[in-house]
């Protein structure tokens, strides 16, 4: 590829725009990919962008920043340090949460690839990035089912119990929990969007509940950076514009 053409490469991905703020852990894969780039001539990066989904994707931000500074670091050790330094007695349960989330993320990566490819073929007149985003919106209820979210809650509930005597660690566990509540709110919203026979009043109620939750994050001194709310609503705007409210209850 490009490494055979020039010895100096710059990496400029849109990686952190992906996933609509939903919980994702691809930190180890990101470190592996970055190290490969570094070994084949990478001299700089311009990642677009940290959009402040710290409760759902903060680990990815952290691992990348550490690897950018020192590409020789082992991603597993960086993650262990993140959990140990940030969560004290709850470190092992938080690590279990991230491990479970990594499995979920790998499953999403496997499931979304064919869907996006097919969607782009079916809707060639659309901008491909918009096509992939709309398809991800529609697949959110499939990727983040009630069962999946419950599996993710279990280790964080355990972490909450372990951190009960450590106020700072407990606050950070609660911060991560906001990300799962966000995922639950979005699962409900996009389930309604897919249901052509949904009760219009129920659709409005679910959207209103989601918006109230986002506002509560915005207003809370600890949770302002939990989810990049303004960015998300901007991203949803074009999808919303095409949505037709059901006319039958």
Q: How many domains does the chain have?
A: 2
Q: Report the alpha-carbon distance of residue 199 to residue 182 in Å, rounded.
A: 22
User: Which tens digits make up the pLDDT trace of 32-89?
Assistant: 999 999 999 999 999 988 999 999 999 999 999 999 999 999 999 999 999 999 999 9
Residue range 22-27: average pLDDT? Answer: 98
Q: Report the alpha-carbon distance of residue 58 to residue 246 in Å, rounded.
A: 37
121 and 48: one domain?
Answer: no
What pTM was computed for the model? 0.90
Asked whether the CA dihedral 12, 18, 22, 23 is positive or negative, the reply is negative
Q: What single DSSP character describes residue 89? A: G
110 falls within a domain: yes
Tell the residue number behind the tokens 């705007």, with chain if given: 237
Phi, psi for residue 10 in degrees, rounded to 5: -120, 135
Cβ atoms of residues 235 and 20 within 8 Å: yes
Tell the residue number behind the tokens 């409005």, with chain if given: 204
Query: Given this model, what pLDDT does residue 246 score?
Result: 78
159 and 123: one domain?
Answer: yes
User: Which tens digits make up the pLDDT trace of 106-158?
Assistant: 999 888 766 545 544 444 444 455 557 788 898 999 999 999 999 999 999 99
Domain end point (choices 69, 85, 101)? 85
Q: Tell me the β-bridge partners of 42.
A: 9
Q: Report the alpha-carbon distance of residue 54 to residue 227 in Å, rounded.
A: 6
* Cα-to-chain-centroid distance, residue 132: 15
169 pLDDT exceeds 90? yes
112 and 219: one domain?
Answer: yes
User: Which tens digits make up the pLDDT trace of 218-231?
Assistant: 999 999 999 999 99
Q: What single DSSP character describes residue 52? A: -
Query: Given this model, what pLDDT does residue 114 score?
Result: 62
Q: Report the alpha-carbon distance of residue 159 to residue 94 in Å, rounded.
A: 6
108 and 55: one domain?
Answer: no
Q: Tell me the β-bridge partners of 44.
A: 10
Between 95 and 240, name the one with better pLDDT: 95
Copy the structure tokens of residue 199: 């009760």
Domain end point (choices 65, 85, 105)? 85
Query: Given this model, what pLDDT does residue 129 score?
Result: 53
98 pLDDT exceeds 70? yes
53 and 103: one domain?
Answer: no
182 falls within a domain: yes
100 and 216: one domain?
Answer: yes
192 pLDDT exceeds 70? yes
Q: Where are the alpha helices (DSSP H) in the chain?
A: 27-39, 54-69, 75-87, 91-122, 128-143, 146-162, 167-194, 200-219, 229-242
69 and 108: one domain?
Answer: no
Q: Which domain holds residue 131?
A: 86-240
């Amino acid at each position: 590829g490009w490494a055979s053409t020039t010895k100096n490469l710059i990496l400029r991905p849109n990686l952190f725009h992906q996933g609509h703020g939903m919980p994702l852990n691809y930190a180890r894969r990101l470190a592996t990919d970055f190290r490969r780039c570094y070994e084949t001539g990478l001299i700089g990066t311009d990642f677009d962008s940290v959009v402040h989904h710290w409760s759902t994707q903060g680990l990815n931000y952290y691992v990348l920043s550490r690897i950018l500074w020192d590409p020789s670091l082992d991603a597993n050790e960086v993650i262990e340090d993140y959990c140990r330094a940030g969560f004290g007695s709850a470190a092992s349960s938080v690590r279990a949460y991230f491990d479970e989330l990594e499995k979920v993320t790998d499953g999403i990566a496997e499931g979304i690839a064919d869907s996006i490819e097919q969607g782009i073929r079916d809707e060639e007149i659309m901008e491909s990035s918009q096509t992939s985003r709309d398809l991800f919106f529609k697949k959110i209820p499939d990727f983040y089912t009630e069962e999946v979210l419950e599996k993710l809650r279990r280790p964080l509930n355990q972490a909450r119990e372990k951190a009960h005597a450590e106020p700072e660690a407990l606050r950070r566990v609660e911060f991560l929990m906001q990300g799962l509540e966000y995922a639950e709110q979005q699962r409900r919203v996009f389930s309604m969007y897919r249901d052509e026979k949904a009760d219009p009043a129920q659709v409005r109620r679910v959207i209103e509940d989601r918006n109230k939750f986002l506002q509560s994050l915005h207003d809370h001194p600890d949770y302002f950076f939990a989810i990049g709310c303004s960015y998300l609503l901007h991203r949803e705007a074009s999808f919303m514009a095409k949505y037709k409210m059901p006319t039958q209850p």
